[in-house]
Amino acid sequence: VIDPFATRATLFLANNTRVSPNVITAVSLLLSVLSSFLFFKGLLWQGALIYELSFLFDCIDGKLAQLTGRSSLKGIWLDMFADKIRLILNTLALALYSGKAMLALLFVSLYLWQQIEGLFYLSTGAVGEKRCEDVMEGKRLICKIREYFRRKRLILLPDLVEQDTFAFFIGPLLKDINLGFLVAILLNLLKRTVNFYKFFIAGNAGDN
């Protein structure tokens, strides 16, 4: 949903301004601090909207860096730092407001662990490097569905972005923080289960 807006905004900034990707990252970080403050004060729908605006800028910075050829290691680290700060501050703010610290702690722990797992799967080549037909032998329909979603840039399975959406946007908009965190946790466990399954399929295919 956000990506089309981020793409248009990126093209506008690239063609009409000289703003740097790092400035966009800084704006995203400042907005995430503001959203966490609003969450802490119980201004849930305001915090949710500001959080989405922060996420929009987070989508723009990387696109702008690639489009203008200004990607840098410093920018990558700054973006990663801003992402973690946004996650931790907004989780903490909602936890303090709702009084459900354990649920929030479980969410942020699983979220960060999924990112670590993703790096592991990527480094081992277990996910994403083998052709679908090679890994999912005899399941061509599944492969065709995955390829259709890939071409349309649709997400077949919910990932970290969808977890963010439930925890920091849908939950606060519905004024049900617990529901947002709970759905995000379930999506996290679903994604990790699928990755775990794919890892062992890839391993077995490689052995054969």
Note whether 85 and 29 are within 8 A (CB).
Answer: yes
The predicted pLDDT at position 149 comes to 57
- Given this model, what pLDDT does residue 89 score? 96
User: 173 and 48 in contact (C-beta within 8 Å)?
Assistant: yes
Cα distance between residue 163 and residue 182, in whole Å: 10
DSSP state of 167: I
Q: What is the CATH number of domain 1-98?
A: 1.20.120.1760
What count of other Cβ atoms lies within 10 Å of the Cβ of residue 49? 16
94: tokens are 């909602």
Mean pLDDT by 10 residues, the chain (208 residues): 88 93 96 98 98 96 91 89 94 93 91 76 53 51 62 64 94 96 93 74 53
What pTM did the predictor assign? 0.81
What is the rounded distance in angstroms from the CA atom of residue 194 to the CA atom of residue 182? 19
pLDDT at 133: 47
Which residues have C-beta within 8 Å of that of residue 109, sequence separation ≥ 6?
Answer: none
If DSSP codes are grouped into helix, strand and coil, which group holds residue 69? Answer: coil
Residue intervals of the chain classified under CATH 1.20.120.1760 are: 1-98
At 144 the pLDDT is 67
Q: What CA–CA distance (Å, rounded) separates 66 from 21?
A: 9
CB 127 within 8 A of CB 117: no
pLDDT of residue 3: 83
